[in-house]
Structures are given as structure tokens and as C-alpha cells.
Structure 1
Amino acid sequence: MNRRTTSTRRPDHAGRRVRMAAAAALGALCLGISGCSGASIEPAHAIAQADLGMQASATTFANFPKAPRDPAPNAETSGVVLHIKRDVAVHEAPGGAVFAKLPATQLGNPTWVPVIAEHGPWAQVLLPSRPNGATGWVRTDDQVERARSPYVVDVDIDARRLVVREDGSAIGAWVVGVGAPGSPTPRGRTFIMAAIEETVTRFSPIILPLGAHSDTFSTYGGGPGTVALHGWPDPAVFGQASSDGCVRVPDDALRLLTTLPLGTLVHLR
């Protein structure tokens, strides 16, 4: 729990925000069981807040096919993360149309999302919803809190290797299991969305759902097919491509991953 962040306040750490999960929630969450204009910014924002209750929530269960896509899915970021303290409007562009609201919680955990671009009082963030790479613009006003995570989780899918970096330096590396050829792990930038204590099947003590989804399964176990980082009881899976899309990690890797702040960037390459 001693992982360092840079902020006026520290982001909530995943390991400190573990939530209990019922069987139905686990089925819904985890696959591993098997150029911007600044014009008219203020008026658009005011209208968005008035109509916010009518917008769909950007959660792992949502799908926004027309959301802006991540323009640079392999790029690094500044490490800035935003804590969404109450529902905020998600725009197509700074001052543009509203297509969703980002709620203050995700799966019982506080919402922290990584910033991939900024324009004045606006930030483009990765969303936890389908399609993979979905983004949106939110205002960085008193409804959000800025912080910085110095960590990045880098998963080389082909090499089946996970590396955790702090300010660019590797602090841990492991051989991991990834998605099978028929259910590959999706690629692109995503983030640690939540931390959940697994109390049903007990295949992993903690599950770390990401803001990414299976490209094979539109639904899985009654849920949206959210991809996660998690442990596995049989070490034979490490180095193999045999999961339904999740990344299976050794116990010592999981212990480190659960100390990283929510919103920490994850590269699935």
C-alpha cells in the first residue's frame, strides 16, 4: 500500500477499495472463469447539466457506438487521472454534444479515469464502456479531482508478458496467460476500473476489471464480457493463450497490481 502518487490528494488505491461481489455480478464482470473547437463551451455545458438525468451512464454495461475513439491507442499518457465525484456529462468534443454521463462509482468503486488529452478546461478520458477505445470529453471543474498515477501496466499479448512500470522504470515483470486464439485479449489503451473480492468461485482472491471488453463475446455469463486482470490456481496457464480474454497473472503479480491506483493506465499490446 506504499505505492507513490503525485497529487494534492492521492487516488484511491484499488487494494483499499475492494468490494464484495455476488455471483451474478461476477458472471457479468469477468471472462476468466472459463482537433477540438472551443466555441460555445459554456452554453453547451449548461444544457448538459440540466439534461444529465436523461443520459445513459458510461459503465462497463453500456455501449456507445458513436463515442469518439482513442486516437492513439499505443501512446503513453501524462499519468493524469480524474476522480469523478458526482455524475458529469460526457461530450463528443469540448463544448460539443452530450452522449452520456460518467457516474461517480463503477462496480461499487469510486470512478477514476485516465486523461489522454486536454483542451482548456476540458479533458478527454478513456471510458469503461463498449466499444473498446471509447472516449469522451468532460469538464475539469469542481465535480472532478485531478491526481497522477506514476504507474503503467504493460501487457505484451504475443509475448505473454506483463510489466509494471513506475515513472518509466520496470518494478515487476511476469509471464502471464492471455486469451485463446478464438477469444483473444483485446488490444489498446485501457485502465484499472475497479477491484473486487471474489467470493464465489475463488479462482482469484481479487479481480481487477478493466475498461475493456471481449471482441468475441458480446455477453458472457449474463454480463457484458468485461476483461480483467486476475489470478489463477493452476500455474500451468501462465505463458499460454487459453483464457476467454482475461489476463491471468501469478499471485505475486496480483499482489502488486492490487496496490496500484484506480484509473492506472493499462496497455494491451
Structure 2
Amino acid sequence: MAAGFAAGPVALGSPPPAAVPAATVTVAPVVAVAKGTPPAPGAREPAVDGTRYDLAALPVVDVFAVRPELPVDDDPGGDLTGLVAHPSGAAAPVFAEPGTAPVARLPRTLQFGGTTVPVVVQHEHWLRVLLPGRQAPPSSGDPGQLTGWVRAADVEVAPAVAQVEVDLTARTVDVVRGGERERVSDGFAWGTAATPTPVGRTFVMTTRVDRSFAFTRGHPIVYLGVQSPTLDGFSGADVAVTAFHYHDVRTGPVSNGCIRLGAEALARLAELPEGTPVTVRA
């Protein structure tokens, strides 16, 4: 399954399950480049930008957004910094590159999540983050994991509480906390050759329960920030979001890109806050 919204197979109209904690974001000091995707050789530290922008004039970057101005992750197999960012005000301007005009805004709250995002490059004044939405649908461009730059002054930065690692070859799902690895699943179903599970780094966008989807049997759906590499939309929706979800049939390459898991594994993943980094390896 490639999870859809609104008219799609998974309408995000239900509130998140009570057992799923909201993302807790506290201010942490921003230092020079941490681990994560390193800057280009010889690259200079981006200059501070103290401009006050008209945020209301900027389009929102959310799960439905198609923002051709924003770059796709050019290092999907790269490291993560172990940090997440969240707008400190009503919204944070989003830039394609430091030193340019903003092209979008990331609100502090969104109906379908995606406002707490992993940091993949960290400078003193700027952070490159993973974002919801797409640069383009697959029929007209690159639908890979969207990224953008935010100013450090516009966000609160905190350590990620955990990281999820998925290995499509080994069929394993691990949750890593403080260097300790927990194996939450050693078997699952994944995408077909025509509708593959997207690989690379992404994040938990939101977690919800929708009992109208009988195949989930009331278990939570953990939506990710990345969408299908081959589907423009799904079941009438104009988005095709990848997710972890329950299904009775959860062996082999049978889904539209989602990872089908058992109940116990879903329960563990549903405990993770929004913004938790996820890496999927082939």
C-alpha cells in the first residue's frame, strides 16, 4: 500500500492514538557542522541572514506540497546529525539555499504533521532539513525525499530520541536509542518491483489510527515524510505517502511501497515522536 490522504485509502481525519506521545522539542545549542552530510570541499560557512520575511506570502510546505524550487536529498544514504528541528514561532521560512530568498514556510503545527524534521547538515546559522512534500510527482520529475534550509534562529533544535533503521535485504527493522539497538521486526512485506519501497533517509511525519481501513485491524499507521518513487497518487488522492502499517499479508514484495508489519512491531514504532529519523537501505 502507498498510503493516501483525503480521497486516498488512508484519510488522515482521525486524531492520533493516545498512546503516541507528541514530539517534545527543547532548545539545544547549535554548533558548527556536526555529523551528517558534510559540506562540499572548500565550502564557506553560510552567512547569517537577519531579514524579516513576509511569511504569509510564502506557500506552506506540507504533505500535499509540490515545491519544484526545493532540492531533493542528494545524499540519501548519508549520515544523520542526530538532531531534529521545529519552528520556534508560528512558522519558519524555508530556503532552497542559504543566502537566497525563501520559497516556502514550515508552520509550527500542521494537521497531518511534518513540522518536526531531521537535521542532515548543521552550520552555525543554517540547517539543512528533511521536509514533507515533493519536488515533483514521479510522472513529471523527481519525487524523492524533499529537503530545504532553515535559519537556526527560526527553529528549536533538540536531540532525536531514536532512529529507525530498515534493511530491505535482511528484512529487519531496528530502533536505535543511545547506541542501543532494539530489533522490533525480523520480517515484513515491502514494495513490488513496479511500486518499490523508497530507500534513503526520511522521518516519521505523523502516526494515526483509522479503523475504517480494515486491513490495519485498528493498529496505528506510522506515516513517513517520503512518497512513492513511481506513483503520483493512490486511490484518487494526489499523494502517495509511504508508511509502516499492519496487514495480515506481510511477507514478500507485495505492497505499493509501504512496509507491512505485525502488531507488536507497529506498537513499538507508534511510540516514537514525530520527526524521528528513519533510514531505509536496499
- The alpha carbon displacement at 1:185 in A equals 0.5
**Counterpart residue type for residue 80 of structure 1:** L
Matched, 1:215 2:220: no
Matched, 1:172 2:189: no
**Counterpart residue type for residue 213 of structure 1:** Q
Matched, 1:72 2:75: yes
Which residue, out of 31, 52, 61, partners 1:58? 61
Partner of 1:195, secondary structure, is strand
In 1: Cα distance, 2:114 partner to 2:278 partner: 18
**1:1-269 paired onto structure 2 within 5 Å:** 24=7, 26-27=9-10, 35=40, 41-42=48-49, 45-46=51-52, 49-50=53-54, 52-85=55-88, 86-109=90-113, 111-130=115-134, 131-141=143-153, 143-174=154-185, 175-204=187-216, 205-221=219-235, 222-232=237-247, 234=248, 237-269=249-281
The one-character-per-residue Cα deviations of 1:59-89 (angstroms, maximum 9, x if unpaired) are 1111223322323211221211112242111
- The alpha carbon displacement at 1:112 in A equals 0.6
In 2: Cα distance, 1:37 partner to 1:92 partner: 17
- The alpha carbon displacement at 1:230 in A equals 1.1
- The alpha carbon displacement at 1:41 in A equals 3.9
The answer (yes or no) to whether the contact 2:62–2:114 under 8 Å persists in 1 is no
Partner of 2:265, secondary structure, is helix
In 1: Cα distance, 2:208 partner to 2:92 partner: 24
The answer (yes or no) to whether the contact 2:5–2:11 under 8 Å persists in 1 is no
The 1:28/1:212 distance shift into structure 2, 3 A limit, reads farther
In 2: Cα distance, 1:40 partner to 1:156 partner: 38
In 2: Cα distance, 1:27 partner to 1:37 partner: 44
Q: Which runs of 5+ in 2 are unaligned?
A: 13-39, 135-142
More helix by percentage: 1
When the two chains are superposed, the root-mean-square deviation of aligned CA atoms in Å is 2.4
In 2: Cα distance, 1:22 partner to 1:210 partner: 13
The answer (yes or no) to whether the contact 2:120–2:130 under 8 Å persists in 1 is yes
The answer (yes or no) to whether the contact 1:80–1:147 under 8 Å persists in 2 is yes
Which deviates more, 146-155 or 102-111?
A: 102-111
- The alpha carbon displacement at 1:25 in A equals 6.5
Q: Structure 2 length as normaliser, TM-score? A: 0.76
**Counterpart residue type for residue 243 of structure 2:** A
Count how many residue pairs are aligned between Structure 1 and Structure 2.
Answer: 236
In 2: Cα distance, 1:167 partner to 1:188 partner: 21
The answer (yes or no) to whether the contact 1:104–1:110 under 8 Å persists in 2 is no
Q: Which runs of 5+ in 1 are unaligned?
A: 1-20, 30-34
In 2: Cα distance, 1:80 partner to 1:41 partner: 20
